Structure 1
Amino acid sequence: MSARRSLSAEWLLLPAIAFTTVVFGWPLLILLRMSFNQHPPDGIYVEAWSLENYVAVLTEPANLSAVFDTLYIALVTAVVTVAAAFLFAQFVWLRQGKRRAMLLALALGPMLVSEISVIIGWRMVLPSNGLLSWSLFASGLIDRKFNLLGTEFAAVLGLAYISMPYCFFTILGVLNGIDRTLLTASGDLGASPWRTFFKVLLPLAKGGIASAFTQAFVFTMGIYATTNALGPDGLWTVGYEIQRQMLSRRDWPLASALAVVLVLLIALVALGVQALRHRKAPRHG
C-alpha cells in the first residue's frame, strides 16, 4: 500500500518536473550552446564549438573583476540581510495580536515596490543634499553634510532592502515551528539569554537561516540595476557586464559564457551552504 502511494506521489510530480524542464531547462541549454559560439567583427555570432569565451571570462582582468565584485557584494549583502532579517523575525515571532499584524504589514512593504522605485527612493535619501544628510545637519547632530550615494554601503543597503522581505518570511516560517517553551526551559535551567540564543534558538533555526542566506545570495547575484545606480562607478557586476555585452557590444557568446559562469557560481555557493547546514557536529570524548 505504501509503495502504491509513493508511486502515485511521484506521478503527481511529473507535471511540475515537465514544466520546470521546458521553462527553465531548455533556455539554459540554449544559453550553454550559445556560449561556445564565436563573435564575428560584423555580426552577433557564428556557430562554433570554441572555448575562447570561457577563456576570456577566466583570464581577462575586466571579466575577473566583475566576477569577484559580484561575489563580494552578494556575500556581504547576504550576511547583512540574513542578520537583520533574523533579528526582525525573532522580534515579530515573540509578538502577538495587532502588533504582530502591523509588523507583518511593514515587512510586506518592500515587496510591493518595484526595483526602480527603490532606486529612486534611496537616491533621494543618500546624497549630500538628500533627506538623511539634510535632517542630521539641520538637527545639529553633524556639522557638515555627507554623501553616501556612489559607495559600497549604498549598494549593500539597496540590495538588502529588496531581498529583506523574502529572507524575513523564510526565517519567520521556521521560527513559527519552534516550541517557545524550549526557550523558557533553557532559562529555567540557568542559561543566560545569550546562551539560550546561541545554544537553543540558532541551532533550531539554522535551516531557515541557510535557506534565507541562499535566497539573498541568489537574488543579489542576479541584480545589477540597483548596484549600478547606487554603488560606485568601479563596481561592475557580472549582471551589468552581461547587459553591456548583449546590448552594447552585441557579443552574445561572451554574454552567454558570463551567464553560465554566474549560474555555476550560484550553484556552488548554494551547494556549499547546504553542505554546511547538514554537516554533523564533531563528537567530543
Structure 2
Amino acid sequence: MVSPPHEAMHRIFQHDPGLFSRVSRFLGVDIPTPVKATALPTDLTETNPVERRVDTLLRLETADRGPFLLAVEAQGKKHPDKPASWAYYTAYLWTKYRLPTALLVVCQDHATARWAQQPVSCGPPQLPTLTVQPLVAGPHNMPVITDPEEARADLVLASLAAITHAAEPDVGAILKALSTALRDAPEDIAKPLIEFTAQGLAKRPAKNLWRNLVAVDLSFYKSYLAEEVRKEVRKEVRDEVRDEVRDEVRKEVQDEALTQGEARRAAADVLAVLAERGLTVSEAVRERIGSCDDPEILSRWLRRAVTASTAEEVVAGA
C-alpha cells in the first residue's frame, strides 16, 4: 500500500517541475531551469500482465540543452528488486520517447540514501552492460532551511527539505521556518505545501509539531489538516477541561459578546495545545489563562504554547 510520505516525496515535483533544477545543485550537477514542463503518463506496462509504474514522470525542456525526461522515485527503505526496476524504467522510457532519461530517487533516511546511490550493473563484473546509478536526494544533501527568509525565497524547496529531514534533529526548526514563511503566502500557494509536508511527515513525531504549527501559525487556512487539528483540539479540551472553569467558558461563549466569546475560545485553545504537548498546567496558570479576556495577550500565549518548555513560560511577563 502506498504511504503518504511516498506520495509526498515524488508528487511535490509534479506540483513544481522546476524544483528539480533547484535541487540539482545540491546533488552535484547543474540542470538549467526548464522553460517548459509536461507531466507524462506513469504507466510503463507492456502487453504482458506485469504492471510497472514510475512514481512521477516529467518531460522537461531547457533553453540550451534541449528536452529530457525526469523519472522521480520515492524510496522509503532498501529493496533488492528496485535497481532492476529502475533499469527497466530508464531503458523503457529512453526507447519509447527517444529522449535522455534522468532518474531521481528521494529518501528520508541516510541508510536508504547510501544504498540507492550505489551503482548497480545488470551484467557480470567484467561485462557491466547497463549500470544504474540514480541521483539521490535525502537528508545527506538536502539543505537544512531554518531561516524563514530563506524558506520564503523557495517555499517548495523548504517543504521538500522538511520532508527529507523528517527524522532528523533539525526538523523542528525547519518546520517552524516553513510555517512562518507560509503565513505570508497566498492560500493557493500555501495550502498544497501544508498538505505535502503533512503527508511527508506521516506518523513521525514531527507530525505533531507540524499539526500544532498549522493550528497556530496557519490557523486561517481551510485545509483538511487544519480542520483535523481544530477538531482534535476541541475534543481534547472537552475531555480534559471538565471542571467549573470550562463550564463557565461554555456559558460565556453563548451569552457574552462576540469579542469575549473569541477570547474564551482562544483561552481554551491555549490550554488544549499545552495538554496536547503533555505539559503540566497548575491551577494558577489555568485560572490566569481562563480569566484573560485580552485577544492580543491570548494570541501571544497561543504562539508561546507551541514551543515553551513549561506552562509557566507561556504566561510569564504577559
TM-score (norm 2): 0.21
Structure with more of its chain in strand, by fraction:
2
